[in-house]
Amino acid sequence: MTAHANYSLRDEIRDYWSDRAETFDLQVGHEIFSEQERAASDALISKHLGPGAGRVALDLACGTGVISH
């Protein structure tokens, strides 16, 4: 029997993302770093979805939530 006999795939996935979480938002496209980037993102979303005032939305699988603001 190996030392990892009780180590499951679930444990492996949890450990991977626990380690990865520390630098995840530093990757390109995972964060909005400036007001200029936020304004560009807001303009793009408004262009395709229209104004959001008074609308209700459910954001599923939003990752780190950077666009959910």
Query: pLDDT tens for residues 8-48?
Result: 999 999 999 899 888 887 777 777 878 998 899 889 989 99
Tell me whether residue 29 is in a domain: yes
Question: Burial letters for 5-42: b for 16+ Cβ neighbours within 10 Å, e otherwise?
Answer: eeeeeeeeeeeeeeeeeeeeeeeeeeebeeeeeeeeee
What would the mean pLDDT of 47-66 be, rounded to a whole number? 82
34 belongs to a structural domain: yes
Tell me if 31 sits within 8 A of 64, measured CB to CB.
yes
Residue 27: inside a domain, yes or no?
yes
Asked if residue 65 is part of any domain, the answer here is no
Asked if pLDDT for residue 2 goes beyond 60, the answer is no
Number of separate domains in the chain: 1
Determine, yes or no, domain membership for 26: yes
18 assigned to some structural domain = yes
**pTM listed for this prediction:** 0.50
In a domain, 54, yes or no: no
Domain encompassing residue 18: 9-49
Going by pLDDT thresholds of 50, 70 and 90, the confidence category of residue 69 is: low
